[in-house]
């Protein structure tokens, strides 16, 4: 459990941290080049995180912090470049740029937090086109909780296996998703989880996908 500001507390199952590229300790005898690479961070990797007002606080804050621990360059983008505020009051949280100014070519993966923010994100054609571009390129798209609304509106969930917060199960199923109730579901480039309690395995799956890219 980590407290970030008054009224905002993160609770999650921790994903294991890996050694950074700056690691200078002694590695076990017999460690191969491939083993050393697996201990390295993701320095030089760029990941895009989508944000809008009323995001689920922990589902935005934890991915940003956890990816930065891996030395990932994180860009937070919104429908506009105005700061956003979480549903539990965290904010104003700075947004780096507007989605309309971006292309999937500059990023290795896309992260979509939940809360009520996805209902705003799904109404932006710029957001939906970007999601479609990430999917067409086979790049990881990690979404959690109510964020399943965004791939639904982008038209990429039909025939795919995924999970979400139980309240939007019907939306997912009606869009043609093979919905399952599991902490994290990986189907190709789609990485989905149900709620803040799944943040640890969700980020572990995303980091694993980035590491294997």
Instruction: Give the tens place of pLDDT for each residue, 165-197.
Output: 999 999 999 999 999 999 999 999 999 999 999
Domain membership flag for residue 19: no
- Domain enclosing residue 69, as ranges: 46-212
Report how many domains make up the chain.
1
Are 164 and 180 spatial neighbours (Cβ–Cβ below 8 Å)?
no
Sheet of strand 97-98: strand arrangement? 97-98, 73-78, 46-50, 109-112, 141-144, 190-193, 184-187
pLDDT at residue 4 in the model: 45
Domain membership flag for residue 50: yes
Share of the chain above pLDDT 90, in %: 80
**pTM confidence score:** 0.84
Domain membership flag for residue 59: yes
pLDDT tens digit sequence for 110-138: 999 999 999 999 999 999 999 999 999 99
Domain membership flag for residue 22: no
Q: Which band of pLDDT confidence, cut at 50, 70 and 90, is reported for residue 161?
A: very high
Whether the per-residue pLDDT at 8 is higher than 60: the answer is: no
Domain membership flag for residue 121: yes
Q: Which band of pLDDT confidence, cut at 50, 70 and 90, is reported for residue 160?
A: very high
Domain membership flag for residue 34: no
Domain membership flag for residue 91: yes
pLDDT at residue 25 in the model: 32
Q: Which band of pLDDT confidence, cut at 50, 70 and 90, is reported for residue 78?
A: very high
- Looking at every residue in the chain, the average pLDDT score rounds to 87
Domain membership flag for residue 110: yes
pLDDT at residue 132 in the model: 98
Which of the two residues, 210 and 13, has the higher pLDDT score? 210
Whether the per-residue pLDDT at 15 is higher than 80: the answer is: no
Other residues' Cβ atoms within 10 Å of the Cβ of residue 102? 17
CATH number at residue 181: 3.40.50.880
Whether the per-residue pLDDT at 14 is higher than 80: the answer is: no
Catalytic residue, chosen from 90, 104, 146, 195, is 146
Based on the residue annotation, tell me whether 90 is a catalytic residue of this protein: no
pLDDT tens digit sequence for 26-67: 333 443 434 444 445 799 999 999 999 999 999 999 999 999
Number of H helices, E strands in the chain: 7, 11
Place of tokens 């971006």: 102
pLDDT at residue 40 in the model: 59
């Amino acid at each position: 459990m980590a407290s970030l500001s008054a009224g905002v507390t993160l609770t999650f199952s921790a994903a294991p941290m890996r050694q950074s590229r700056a690691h200078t300790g002694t590695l076990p005898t017999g460690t191969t080049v491939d083993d050393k690479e697996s201990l390295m961070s993701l320095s030089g990797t760029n990941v895009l995180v989508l944000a809008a007002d009323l995001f689920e606080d922990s589902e935005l804050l934890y991915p940003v912090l956890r990816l930065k621990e891996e030395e990932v360059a994180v860009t937070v983008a919104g429908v506009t470049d105005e700061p956003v505020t979480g549903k539990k009051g965290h904010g104003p949280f700075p947004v780096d740029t507007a989605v309309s100014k971006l292309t999937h070519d500059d990023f290795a993966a896309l992260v979509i937090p939940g809360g009520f923010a996805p209902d705003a994100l799904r109404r932006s054609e710029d957001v939906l086109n970007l999601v479609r571009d990430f999917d067409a390129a086979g790049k990881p798209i990690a979404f959690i909780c109510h964020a399943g609304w965004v791939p639904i509106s982008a038209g990429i969930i039909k025939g795919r296996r995924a999970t979400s917060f139980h309240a939007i199960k019907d939306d997912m199923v009606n869009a043609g998703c093979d919905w399952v109730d599991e902490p994290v579901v990986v189907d190709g480039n789609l990485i989905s989880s149900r709620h803040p309690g799944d943040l640890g395995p969700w980020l572990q799956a995303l980091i694993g996908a980035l590491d294997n890219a």
